Structure 1
Amino acid sequence: MLTQLSIRDYAIVDRLELDFSHGMTAITGETGAGKSILLGALSLCLGERAESGCVRHGCERAELTARFDLSQLDTARAWLDARELGSSECLLRRTVSANGRTRAWINGTPCTLADLKTLSELLIDVHSQHAHQSLLREQQHQLLLDEYAGVTGQVAELRVLYKEWSQARKRLKQAQESGSEAQARRQLLRYQVEELNHLALAEDELHHLEEEQTRLAHAEQSRHQAQVALHCCSDDEQGATARLIQAKGALLELPGAHEGAVANAIALLEEASIQLDEAGDELARFIDGEELDPERLAFVDERLADVHRIARKHHVMPDEVVALHTRLAQELEQLDMSDDDLEALSVKVRELRDQWRTLAQQVSEARTAHAEELAQQIQQQLSFLGMDKAVFEVSINRRDNAQPEGMDHIQFLISANPGQPPRPLHKVASGGELSRISLAIQVVAAAHSTIPTLVFDEVDVGISGATAEIVGRLLQELGNQGAQLLCVTHLPQVAAQAHRHVHIEKQQHDEAMLTHMSVLDEGGRVKELARMLGGVNLSERTLAHAQEMLTGGQRPARH
């Protein structure tokens, strides 16, 4: 239930705070006084789009807040709990800056307008004077019947199943159409993978093969060069070892050979002789180990040639052949599995179809079971509204093709005059009749709504006199049954039936014209009803008539 609405710097409102309670609240005022401002501010709190022009002239931003009691709204509390937004109450806040930028909060937490709008649909239901236009759309007929029959949740599930079913059918069709292409691709892949399997190139093998090829191809040259080096080191007469011995002997014959620079030179020659011996040993071992293997070299050359040939064939680098092998093998495996997947997809399509049909049949049965009852209740309201000769029907026919909401084609039919068969609304109803039909349907829909707060925005347009009084009584009855109704009306017969009465007027403040809203006491209500009855100049007779109307409107309804 809406408990409070706060408005700041919105349109021609500077600051306003209104408290609301159970029952029916009438909202009245002269044309242009600002009744639309109240509903506009509430709509912004509920997530409707905002324009920069809604900010009061000279102000930086407008700020709007709506507070709701959630004691009767389990669905709203569950929605808030699921998002950890707290659910003891619901506070919706919206700001609109002068440049058009808006921000929104739910219980103090920033939110998107989509979330705000989703939550608002669980909090409040708005019935506008333009609702009769939507009645001309058959989709609206189905929505109203579904809500009356209590199957809106099942219909939402139907839409989900239908979407999944449609997507599965599309995937199945694509899989079937691509079957021949897949078979050709499978044959090519099988040949390519078998060729790569035969090559059996291991990870890092290419690098080792290239190193081995380099070594084997230069083995003979390496041995020759090593032998030349060994000869230079160890030749008995010309080798480096013999020359070192000769140099050392020459130094030892010098006087003082064991002192000073000569001694140091002799020591270095001895060390060089040792290292030269060790170098000779290493070269000898290298020569002994470096064997020529022309057969291994031929094998390595051939294997490298195979790798490069396959790389060229697939337009990849040689070092990408292993990754290519893995990728093609995986694709082949997927295609080999596709036959099994095709069968699984076919089974999935059948399962979704059967689930949808079963639920659609349950929904259809519920619609059929409640259609006549709904028609009777709407016809009863039409009788109250002066169309006692009208015949109203809810027609349900089976569609040829499945639809997201089921197999039912639902139409509201009416015969406004005796002797004429019921026909679709848009073919028979005049403007005035359509307005009353819309009101009758909205009253019935509101009585079965799970949302306790209902807004009626001049739904009484096009009626007057005794019919207007009946409309007021119908709305009052909804309030007596526990609903909260906010009714913007221009009819005194309707306003007189309300439990509370909010008056909206423009007042001059300094050089600005501002909207003022106030809850009227009994005296104020009489004056406002008299204004609605007789205009600006209120006579005693008009005031007495207004008092009588208010007194009669507050009496318990007679059944």
Structure 2
Amino acid sequence: MLRSLEIRDMLIIERLELGFRPGLNVLTGETGAGKSILLDCLGFVLGWRGRAELVRTGAAQGEVTAVFDLPEGHAARTILAEAGLDAGDELILRRVNAADGRKTAYVNDRRTSGEVLRALSDTLIELHGQHDDRGLLNPRGHRQLLDAFAGADLAPARRAWAARAAARRALEAAEADLAEMRAEEDYLRHAVAELDALDPMPGEEAELDARRRTMQAAARIREDISRAVQALGSDGAEGLMADARRWLDGAAEKAEGRLDGAIAALERALTELGEAAQGAETCLEALSFDPREIEAVEERLFAIRGLARKHGVLADDLGGFAGELRGRLAAVDGGAENIRSLTEAVAAADATYDVAAAALSDTRREAAVRLDAGVAAELAPLKMERAHFATEITPGEAGPEGCDQVAFTVATNPGAPAGALNRIASGGELSRFLLALKVVLARGGEALTMIFDEIDRGVGGATADAVGRRLARLAETAQILVVTHSPQVAARGAHHWRVEKRVAAGMTTSTVVPLAPAERIGELARMLSGENVTDAARDAARALLTG
């Protein structure tokens, strides 16, 4: 609910504070007094597009502040949360317009954008009138209004649409992947065959490199070890030492024990020499290899390293890379089957969506019949019993909320072609159509603060009274603001303000005055009789207020 509106230095308003209440709030005043300025200012703080120049002449800036009650669960709270703004029990919107045209918006004293204001306004205010392109006259919103009236459950269609879109994306991605893989099929088959033929194992490159270095080193030292074995053997040191021992043994009997130590030392030396020779021979045997073996090791080592460079991976990762390529090749080979499976999934998702959309269409057609009957019943008291209102449902582009296009059409006379509300109906007829439609829709939709801008234009007498009664009925469950020239409508208001234009010191300003019950009689009398208020007009005004 709109609780208050404060305006400073906007157009011809210097300073104005209005406190609105639940129920039917009416604003009256002479033509040109500034009633439309109030709506311009309210639209400005809500982020609506309107007049380009709003700042009062001579002022540095203009400012409008609107305060709304914000109950728990209100749709505005979701928008505030998405914008990172705090939400309390009240919502304060403030917008400043500098004289140079710059505009600054605030929500609960935090700076924000005009887009956030406009998003909030959709949950706070409905404006209805001859120039309303945001509400009932906007065909883009007719389907949403019909769904609200029908209480339609959109969740199944939305889920089916999301599943359908996901299935189509999966198919498109699979087709693109398959096309890409088929483009490299020759490369995949060649690379897999090459890797399979080599069959490199993790750690093999390091092992081959170590063997290669060992064999290269062996080739260099084996000749020296061979010479050492020969020097230590029977043709070398071992033979000489054996001869020396034999000679010493032959001389020992005559040496009277003087050679015993030398002979013992020589025996030990022969033992150590034998061990040395055995070790050298063992090493020589270990270093023995076929020269062709080093060629084979080098060939495999270089092949592994070459493939690693070719594919841009580590040598130890070649096995995993080969597995990846096999998987891609298997995807190519199984791609057609996968495409068939995904195509079937798309067909199933399409069928599910079609069922959900058809159910939604049935709900809308049934609700359209009730809506048309309800509007027809409301048109008769508004002296438009010969007019025809119809909700047209035609095939439209498929989407998350079905595939129906909804438009409210009217024909003002029997046999006349039906058309859009704002193209067929005249000013007065349009106002009554909008009111009848809103009265019926309000039974099935969420109640907002609704503003009716001269919706009673062009009607009077019993018809104006019928308009007033319907506005009062709407106000039983919602806050209604009505700008009106009709005394019959104004008399139905629970709260009444008069818009006045004043001239002081050569400056024209507009203000709004709350009217007490006695003052309402005078205002209604003025609306009935014009500038010269008669006693008869006052009596008629009293009758309207008591009726």
TM-score by length of 1: 0.70
Alignment of 1:36-75 (within 5 A): 36-48=36-48, 53-56=53-56, 58-59=59-60, 62-70=63-71
Which residue of structure 1 lines up, in the alignment, with residue 445 of structure 2?
449
The answer to whether 1:303 aligns with 2:300 is yes
Matched-pair contact (CA < 8 Å) for 2:9–2:59: no
The answer to whether 1:371 aligns with 2:368 is yes
Question: What percent identity do the matched residue pairs reach?
Answer: 32
Alignment of 1:368-517 (within 5 A): 368-396=365-393, 399=395, 402=398, 404-408=400-404, 410-418=406-414, 420=415, 423-425=418-420, 429-432=424-427, 433-479=429-475, 481-508=476-503, 513-517=508-512
Alignment of 1:230-269 (within 5 A): none
The answer to whether 1:553 aligns with 2:536 is no
Change in Cα spacing, 1:6 to 1:135, as seen in structure 2 (3 Å) is: closer
Which residue of structure 1 lines up, in the alignment, with residue 355 of structure 2?
358
**Alpha-carbon distance between aligned partners in 1 of 2:61 and 2:309, rounded to the nearest angstrom:** 70
Matched-pair contact (CA < 8 Å) for 2:67–2:93: yes
Paired AA for residue 20 in structure 1: F
Alignment of 1:102-181 (within 5 A): 102-106=104-108, 113-131=114-132, 139-151=140-152, 154-155=153-154, 158-159=157-158, 161-162=160-161, 164-166=163-165, 168-169=167-168, 171-172=170-171, 175-176=174-175, 179=178
**Alpha-carbon distance between aligned partners in 2 of 1:406 and 1:147, rounded to the nearest angstrom:** 14
Which residue of structure 2 lines up, in the alignment, with residue 237 of structure 1?
none
In structure 2, the residue corresponding to 1:554 is in which secondary structure? Answer: helix
Paired AA for residue 489 in structure 1: T
In structure 2, the residue corresponding to 1:91 is in which secondary structure? Answer: strand
Matched-pair contact (CA < 8 Å) for 2:45–2:64: no
In structure 2, the residue corresponding to 1:451 is in which secondary structure? Answer: coil
**Alpha-carbon distance between aligned partners in 2 of 1:380 and 1:408, rounded to the nearest angstrom:** 26
Change in Cα spacing, 1:377 to 1:492, as seen in structure 2 (3 Å) is: same
Which residue of structure 2 lines up, in the alignment, with residue 251 of structure 1?
none
Change in Cα spacing, 1:465 to 1:368, as seen in structure 2 (3 Å) is: same
**Alpha-carbon distance between aligned partners in 2 of 1:102 and 1:427, rounded to the nearest angstrom:** 34
Aligned length: 489
**Could you list the per-position Cα deviations for residues 491-524 of structure 1 after superposition, in whole angstroms to 9, with x for gaps in the alignment?**
3443233221223334456675444223222344
- Relative to structure 2, which stretch is displaced further, 399-408 or 119-128? 399-408
**Could you list the per-position Cα deviations for residues 147-172 of structure 1 after superposition, in whole angstroms to 9, with x for gaps in the alignment?**
22122xx3476356435424533542
Which residue of structure 2 lines up, in the alignment, with residue 35 of structure 1?
35
Matched-pair contact (CA < 8 Å) for 2:410–2:425: no
In structure 1, the residue corresponding to 2:171 is in which secondary structure? Answer: helix
**Could you list the per-position Cα deviations for residues 231-254 of structure 1 after superposition, in whole angstroms to 9, with x for gaps in the alignment?**
xxxxxxxxxxxxxxxxxxxxxxxx
**Alpha-carbon distance between aligned partners in 1 of 2:142 and 2:309, rounded to the nearest angstrom:** 68
Paired AA for residue 168 in structure 1: A
**Alpha-carbon distance between aligned partners in 1 of 2:216 and 2:136, rounded to the nearest angstrom:** 92
Matched-pair contact (CA < 8 Å) for 2:305–2:315: no
Could you list the runs of 5+ residues in structure 2 that have no partner in the other structure? 228-275
Change in Cα spacing, 1:411 to 1:67, as seen in structure 2 (3 Å) is: closer
Matched-pair contact (CA < 8 Å) for 1:24–1:476: yes
- Relative to structure 2, which stretch is displaced further, 464-473 or 216-225? 216-225
Paired AA for residue 355 in structure 2: T
Paired AA for residue 102 in structure 1: T
Structure number with larger C-alpha Rg: 2
**Could you list the per-position Cα deviations for residues 418-439 of structure 1 after superposition, in whole angstroms to 9, with x for gaps in the alignment?**
4x27634479934344443333
**Alpha-carbon distance between aligned partners in 2 of 1:349 and 1:502, rounded to the nearest angstrom:** 61
- Over the aligned positions, Cα root-mean-square deviation in angstroms equals 4.5
Which residue of structure 1 lines up, in the alignment, with residue 533 of structure 2?
540
**Cα offset, 1:211, TM superposition:** 6.8
The answer to whether 1:100 aligns with 2:96 is no
Change in Cα spacing, 1:74 to 1:312, as seen in structure 2 (3 Å) is: closer
Change in Cα spacing, 1:202 to 1:38, as seen in structure 2 (3 Å) is: farther
**Alpha-carbon distance between aligned partners in 2 of 1:75 and 1:327, rounded to the nearest angstrom:** 51
TM-score by length of 2: 0.71
**Cα offset, 1:301, TM superposition:** 2.0
Alignment of 1:332-343 (within 5 A): 332=329, 342=339
Change in Cα spacing, 1:430 to 1:306, as seen in structure 2 (3 Å) is: same
In structure 2, the residue corresponding to 1:305 is in which secondary structure? Answer: helix
Could you list the runs of 5+ residues in structure 1 that have no partner in the other structure? 229-280
**Alpha-carbon distance between aligned partners in 1 of 2:328 and 2:437, rounded to the nearest angstrom:** 60
In structure 2, the residue corresponding to 1:384 is in which secondary structure? Answer: coil
Matched-pair contact (CA < 8 Å) for 1:7–1:13: yes
Paired AA for residue 122 in structure 1: T
**Alpha-carbon distance between aligned partners in 2 of 1:97 and 1:117, rounded to the nearest angstrom:** 16
- Relative to structure 2, which stretch is displaced further, 200-209 or 218-227? 218-227
In structure 1, the residue corresponding to 2:542 is in which secondary structure? Answer: helix
Matched-pair contact (CA < 8 Å) for 2:432–2:467: no
Paired AA for residue 23 in structure 1: G
**Could you list the per-position Cα deviations for residues 310-351 of structure 1 after superposition, in whole angstroms to 9, with x for gaps in the alignment?**
35755x487697485465356446657756754664454345
